Copies of this chain bind each other. A is one copy, B any other.
Amino acid sequence: MRSRSRPGVAGRDADRSQAVLPQRDGRHRPHQLYIVGIGPGRLEHLTLRATEVLRSVDCVAGYSLYIDLIQALIDGKETLRSGMMKEVKRVEAAITAAMSGKTCALVSSGDPGIYAMAGLVFETCKTKNIRLRPHGPTETDRAEAPALMVEVVPGIPALCAGAALLGAPLTHDFAVVSLSDLLTPWEVIAERLEAAARADFVIVIYNPKSKKRDWQLEAACKIILAHRDPATPVGIVTAAMRPNQEVQIVPLQKLSSVEVGMQTTLFVGSRSSIRYLEFMFTPRGYSTKYEIR
């Protein structure tokens, strides 16, 4: 139950001088790993912090498509590219690079903590018994040389990028569920969908379909339709803020016949979500308490 105030993280300039320009005297220079979210795709949706970190590090690890998206920022740097489904290998390569003394950024699209690489970094470090420390100096152990200093740099997640294009579907309580049953049993996914539908959450669905997973979306629709009006608006966003972006809103009853893919995120409205022109939104309840004229 230890409290961390992390003055170095909060004090911006002090923090940056150590993080981005580590001491070059070779003594007590901490090994540094950044887990960086690059947002939905276009460089303008990266944060300034993510941009700075990517410019400063020695090497960048990631899925090849994501490295291509940020190539303009990291030209000339060492890259550790890997293919889809190679997550374990990719994370191990990034940790190995950082432990060898290079500053390394492991990149994920969207936010690195939502269905992305951050969890696997911590899981791997725990398994390997690597001593991790939050980024920045702390009050108690500034003098120690930790095994690995880690900073998760948040990015705009697909759920925010998609919601922004649709209007405001997430202004009230929502649940986020992945339909990928590669690592999670379908029974667990189905139970979560049922619970979220019954309790009237807006439901954000990641990974609705892939070449090999072609029946889960229809099964999910059946579960949700048991608790929600067939006319409920559903936002379908594919490749948000990328050149091939597609945005549409359909009634829930038509969702299972719509074309979706690996880059699609779905936003199933709650009982109070409303479609207005080309947008959908979920009221928070102001109109029942205040008069909007």
The chain A residues found within 8 Å of chain B, CB to CB, are 1-6, 9-12, 37, 39, 42-49, 51-52, 87-88, 111-116, 118-128, 131-134, 151-157, 160-161, 163-165, 167-178, 182-184, 188-189, 191-192, 194-196, 198-201, 241-251, 254, 274, 276-279, 281-290, 292-293
- What separation, in Å, do the CA atoms of A157 and B52 have in the docked complex? 20
In addition to A47-B47, A134-B279, A151-B164, 5 A-B residue pairs with Cβ atoms within 8 Å of each other are A44-B48, A113-B164, A115-B171, A119-B283, A173-B177
Bound complex: CA A192 to CA B5 (Å): 32
Instruction: Tell which of B45, B123, B250 touches A286, judged by Cβ atoms closer than 8 Å.
Output: B123
Contact B278 A113 (CB under 8 A): no
In the complex, the answer to whether B279 meets A122 with C-beta atoms within 8 Å is yes
- Could you tell me the distance between the alpha carbons of A132 and B157 in the complex, rounded to whole angstroms? 25
- From B11, B49, B196, A45 is in contact (CB under 8 Å) with B49
Determine the chain B residues whose CB is within 8 A of the CB of A10 once the complex forms.
Answer: 241-245
A-B contact pairs, 18 of them (CB 8 A): A2-B248, A3-B247, A9-B165, A88-B286, A113-B160, A113-B169, A114-B160, A115-B172, A119-B168, A120-B283, A126-B274, A132-B277, A154-B163, A155-B156, A172-B178, A173-B192, A183-B289, A195-B199
As for how many copies of this chain the complex holds, the number is 2
CB distance from A172 to the nearest CB of B (A): 7
Is A118 in contact with B47, judged by CB distance below 8 angstroms?
A: no
In the bound complex, residues from chain B placing their C-beta under 8 Å from that of A12 are 42, 44
Contact present for B278 and A133 (CB under 8 Å): yes
Option from B48, B131, B171 in Cβ contact (under 8 Å) with A113 = B171
Known: A245-B6, A293-B127. A164 touches B170 (CB 8 A): no
